[in-house]
Amino acid sequence: MERTEGVESEIFQGNALSAVDGKSRLSIPAFIRNALIPAEPRGIYLGVHGRSPCLTVYGETYSAFLVAEQERLRLKGEDNGADPDLFEDLDRGLWGMGEKVNCDAGGRIVLGGLLREEGRIEDMALFVGRGRYAEIWNPKVAVEIGGERLQKIASFYLRQKGAKA
Amino acid sequence: MERTEGVESEIFQGNALSAVDGKSRLSIPAFIRNALIPAEPRGIYLGVHGRSPCLTVYGETYSAFLVAEQERLRLKGEDNGADPDLFEDLDRGLWGMGEKVNCDAGGRIVLGGLLREEGRIEDMALFVGRGRYAEIWNPKVAVEIGGERLQKIASFYLRQKGAKA
DNA sequence: GCAAAACCCACGAAATCCCATTAAATCCCT
DNA sequence: AGGGATTTAATGGGATTTCGTGGGTTTTGC
C-alpha cells in the first residue's frame, strides 16, 4: 500500500527507526520526507521538544505556526505583566537551539552536537509522527519513560533490531 | 550539515561558538553569514542588546526595521506626552553605540573596544539565533545569568571546549 | 614614522557532496 | 494471488569543499 503523499500540507503520520552513523548522520524516513512540501534544497527544521526529552522535526508550515504562536504568547504575557526574561529564554530555545538543515541527496541530515545531547540521541533515532510535526527519540529512552503507546512503538523496533543481530 | 541559505530574508536560527583572537577578530559563523543578503562588501550591523548583557548582530533587513520602529516609538511617546529626552538617549544607544562593519575575506570582523566592553566579550563569542537578529554572548556570562535554554547552549560549548583542550 | 587597522595567504579540521552497495517496498505480469 | 523484476529507500565510505583560525604584510591615519 502506498502512503498518500502529503501535498495537502505537511502532516506527519507514521513511525520509523533509523541509524545514526559515526558522522552523526541519519536518514529522514520516507514518511516524513514525502510529507514535506517539495523544495530544492529540502529544508527541514529541527528543535527540542519542551516537555519531553526528545527532538522535534517539521517543515515550513509548522515553523511559521511556531513563530506566530511565540509572538502571540509574548503579547499575551506582556498584557499580564509576565516576566519578559521568560519569553526571551523561550525565544532562545526556538531560534537558538533549533536549526534549519538540508537533506543531502540521499535524504539524510547531520545532527548537531547540542541537539543530539538535548534529544539524548545515541546510535538510533526513532521517528514518531505527531501530526503537524514529528518527534525524534532515543528508542531506549522512549521505552523507559514513554507512555503506553510510545513504549509499544519503541519496544517493537528494539525487539526487531535485536532479532536481526 | 549545510544550513539552508536564508534567501528568504535574513532569518537567524542556530548557534555557534567562535574564538576572539589577539587582534579582537572573530569569525562570523556560517549560519549567520549565509543568512545575510549577499553583498560585496559583506556588511554586518552590531549593536548592544538593551535588556541583556550581550551584543546583537543583524543585516540590512532588521536595520531598516529598527529605523521604522524607532520612529513609531517616538510618535507614540509624543502622543503620551513622554519625556523626549528619554528617546534621545535610547537613540544614542542604538545609533551611537552600534556599528556597521565589514567582514574580511575570511568572514571575520573586528570587535571595537566599546562594544567588546558592553558585551562583556573576552576570548570567546557565543552566537545565538533570535530570528530577525542574533545575539553575541560571552559564554561564561550566559551560563551565569542566562535562562534555562541559554544556559544549555552555553554550557554545551564550554564543556565541549574543555574536553578538547 | 609609528601604531592601528585592513588585507592577504595558508593550514588543519570539519562539514558537505558524491558514488556504491544493500535492503526493502512496490510494480507488473501471469 | 504468487513471484520475479523494478524502483525507492537506507547506509557506508571516500573525495571535495567550506569554515575557522593563526600569522605575516601592506595600507591608512595621526
Three cell numbers written together for B112: 571595537
**Higher local confidence (pLDDT), A37 or A147:** A147
- How many other CB atoms are found less than 10 A from the CB of residue A85? 13
Q: Determine the length of chain A.
A: 165
Cβ–Cβ gap B131/A67 under 8 Å: yes
**Residue to test with chain B: of A100, A102, A109, most B Cβ within 10 A:** A100
> Please, which positions of strand D sit below 7 A from a protein CB?
8-14, 18-24
The dihedral through the CA atoms of A55, A61, A64, A65 has a sign that is negative
Is the previous residue joined to A53 through a cis bond, with omega within 30 degrees of 0? Answer: no
Cβ–Cβ gap B130/A99 under 8 Å: no
At residue A21, the pLDDT reads 94
| pLDDT tops 90 at residue B7 | no
Q: Are B19 and B29 in contact (CB under 8 A)?
A: no
CA A52 to chain CA centroid, Å, is: 11
B73-117 residue pLDDT tens: 888 877 777 777 777 777 777 777 889 999 988 899 999 989 999
Please state, for a pLDDT cut of 70, what percent of chain A lies above it. 93
Q: Give the separation between CA A45 and CA A40, rounded to whole angstroms.
A: 14
CA nearest neighbour of B127 among B107, B113, A110: B107
A109-163 residue pLDDT tens: 999 999 999 999 999 999 999 999 999 999 999 999 999 999 999 999 999 877 7
| pLDDT tops 60 at residue B5 | no
B34-72 residue pLDDT tens: 999 888 778 899 999 988 999 999 999 999 998 888 888
- How many other CB atoms are found less than 10 A from the CB of residue A50? 10
Q: Give the separation between CA A107 and CA A97, rounded to whole angstroms.
A: 22
At residue B1, the pLDDT reads 43
**Higher local confidence (pLDDT), A50 or B8:** A50
- How many other CB atoms are found less than 10 A from the CB of residue A12? 25
Which nucleotide is nearest, taking the CA of residue A127 and each C1'? D10
- How many other CB atoms are found less than 10 A from the CB of residue B100? 11
Measured between beta carbons, which residues in chain A are less than 8 angstroms from residue B4?
A: 41, 43, 100-102
Per residue, the 3-state secondary structure of chain A, as one string, reads: CCCCCCCCCCCECCEEEEECCCCCEEECCHHHHCCCCCCCCCEEEEEECCCCCCEEEECHHHHHHHHHHHHHHHHHHHHHCCCHHHHHHHHHHHHHHCEEEECCCCCEEECCHHHHHHCCCCCEEEEEECECCEEEECHHHHHHHCCHHHHHHHHHHHHHHHHHC
- In A, minimum Cα distance to B146 occurs at A89
